Structure 1
Amino acid sequence: MESAIGVLVSQFKTYSSSDGSSETLSREEFRRLVTSELPNFVKNAGDPAVTDQLMSSLDKNNDGELNFLEFWQLIGHLASKHGGFSQ
């Protein structure tokens, strides 16, 4: 599990740092991350409207970016769904 967390943190930082800030994912960085890293977990990941809606649902402070804790909500939801823990 430690290695899985390491990969998630590393991937977040890789995608978030493409615009200069490694603290948050911009809309475009989030779109690239979901399209590249989660295409089988996010239905229609290649559709910008889908990723925009998903990002908006995760962006709790409505600043137009996702910090790691906001992003982590997505990971928890996808893991729960994949494991059959959510309905």
Structure 2
Amino acid sequence: MESAILTLVSQFKAYAGNDGAANTLSKDEFHSLLTSQLPNYVKDSGEPDFVGRLMSSLDQNDDGELTFAEFWQLIGKLASKQGGFSPS
């Protein structure tokens, strides 16, 4: 699990800060991360502006950027879904 956490953190950091704050993801950075690291998740959505709506649902303080804690919500949801765990 430690290597999985290190991978998640390093991927977040690799995409964060390319066009703004170094510790947050802008919408474009989030879109890039999703399409390169979670392509099946984005591809299977089939909804227009899926990334924008997803980002809005995760952006708790509505600042247009995702902190790692906000991004982590998505990872938790995806892991729960993958594991067959019901949402709480």
TM-score (norm 2): 0.88
Deviation digits for residues 28-79 of structure 1, max 9, x if unmatched? 000111111111234337x660000000000000000000000000000000
- The one-letter amino acid of 2:45's match is N
Aligned equivalents of 1:12, 1:25: Cα separation in 2: 8
Runs of 4+ in 1 over 6 A off after TM superposition: none
In the alignment, structure 2 segments of 5+ residues that lack a partner are none
User: 1:56-71, aligned counterparts within 5 Å?
Assistant: 56-71=56-71
Aligned equivalents of 1:81, 1:41: Cα separation in 2: 12
Tell me the equivalent position of 1:39: 39
TM-score (norm 1): 0.89
User: 1:7-86, aligned counterparts within 5 Å?
Assistant: 7-42=7-42, 43-44=44-45, 49-86=49-86
What CA RMSD, in Å, does the superposition of the two structures yield over aligned residues? 1.7
Q: Percent identity?
A: 63
